[in-house]
Amino acid sequence: MSKMKKLIAGNWKMNGSLAANEALLRELSQGLAIAPVCEVLVCVPAPYLAQISALKAGCAALSALELGAQDVSAQASGAYTGEVSAAMLKDMGCRYVIVGHSERRQYHFETDALVADKAKVALATGITPIVCVGETLAEREAGRTEEVVKRQLAAVIHANGHCISEIVVAYEPVWAIGTGKTASPEEAQAVHAVLRAQLKAATDKAERIRILYGGSMNAANAESLLTQPDIDGGLIGGASLKAPDFLKIIAAVQV
């Protein structure tokens, strides 16, 4: 059983507006006035990082809310039009950045090697990368789940050496993202145990690496997932955009 503080992370994806973000944070602040037992994070679209930083600074109940981004450039700076560097994210107050989300692997053709480089640049800048791994439906049906997630994680372990103990891993089966289909707690736990074993082979600090589950996690299924021994939190898409749902997931976390 792993002992670190659990992490409940919202991934807003490409959603939000100045007005909607402010309303969402106001609702969240009411629910977070009494500090939760877990760490809470929102990964917001890059243009809104400054807004969320400012809202956090102006509201004591949001002071413990962590801020994160959804992607980072593998390059440090320079002629990379449209990219956002890790140093810029750090400037904006980001503690975390998601790397290798399946939507970026799928729509932006991000390779395992690029994802590993992004994790490396984040770590070098003092930002914790949340490394996403997960199999597609076709890969699951072909019995390749373990092979795929291990390959994806191996690239990050290979590129980051002993720093690997500083990452967060998110297991997000692609077939469960935004589909309403969730991996059962037992299915998710089985993959998390595989990932934990792989981390243990790479570092003696594997017990403190948080492995999040993501994919249609919601207020109704959160508790059964979050009580699995190797599930150390959640990476939540749709349900993180509705304050009552996100707060219910946070409330489902037990110490």
Residues recognised as catalytic: 101, 172
Binding mask 223-242 for ligand 13P (x = CB under 6 A): ------------xxxxx---
Greatest CA span in the chain, whole angstroms? 51
Report yes or no: 198 and 157 within 8 Å, Cβ to Cβ: yes
Residue nearest to ligand 13P (CB): 237
Identity of the residue numbered 28 = L
CB 182 within 8 A of CB 215: yes
- Write out the two tokens for 182: 């969730």
Give the nearest distance from C-beta 89 to ligand 13P in angstroms: 17
What is the phi/psi pair of residue 184, to 5°? -65, 155
Total chain residues near ligand 13P (CB under 6 A): 14
Residue from the set 68, 100, 214, 233 that interacts with ligand 13P by CB under 6 A: 214
Q: Which is nearer to ligand 13P, 203 or 210 (CB)?
A: 210
Judged by beta carbon, residue 225 or residue 239, the one nearer ligand 13P is 239
Q: Out of 139, 172, 230, 245, which residue is the one contacting ligand 13P (CB under 6 A)?
A: 172
- CA triple 36-203-148, angle to 5 deg: 85
Answer yes or no: are the C-beta atoms of 10 and 236 closer than 8 Å.
Answer: yes
Residue 100 binds to ligand 13P (criterion: CB under 6 A): no
Footprint of ligand 13P (CB under 6 A) = 11, 101, 172, 177-178, 214-217, 235-239
